[in-house]
Amino acid sequence: MKITLREIGDAAFAILMGYLHRGGTDPGAEVTLSSSDLQETIFLRLIDTTLLLMKIFPHKNFLEQSVYRIEVFRTRPGDLRGNRIAFVEIPKGDDVREEVRLFIEGVLSQCDL
């Protein structure tokens, strides 16, 4: 069963919220979601005003295979460039929630969250 863009966005949001609230604490982050037929976007504003932007969209890789690409950008206070810090391409075929979980948790742990 192929996973849809919406399902990947929902899984990413659930993983993000689970990671942020691990241990029963609230980090005080503000999360905003934006969804369309072409892209799922998650904005995460932290207490120190750092902004993480996660974009999830359909893509064709260099082998012309259909994949979902997840890109994560980080903007620090006073620096509006939004540097891409990580990306992954996930095959469209199967239920890939575990790959999404590993990627998102890895990125968030590197961001000291």
What's the confidence (pLDDT) of residue 56? 95
Contact 30, 62 (CB under 8 A): no
User: Whole-model pTM?
Assistant: 0.86
Domain ranges of the chain: 5-110
Residue 79 has which token pair? Answer: 């620096």
Burial class, 87, CB count within 10 angstroms (exposed 0-12 / middle 13-18 / buried 19+)? middle
Closest CA to 55 of 71, 32, 74, 75: 71
- Expressed in angstroms, the distance from the first to the final Cα of the chain is 33
Tens of pLDDT along the chain (113 residues)? 678 889 999 999 999 989 888 877 777 788 899 999 899 999 998 887 888 899 999 999 888 888 999 999 988 777 766 688 899 999 887 778 889 999 999 998 887 76
Q: How many CB atoms lie within 10 A of CB 15?
A: 18
Contact 51, 74 (CB under 8 A): yes
Strands 51-60, 30-35: pairing kind: unpaired
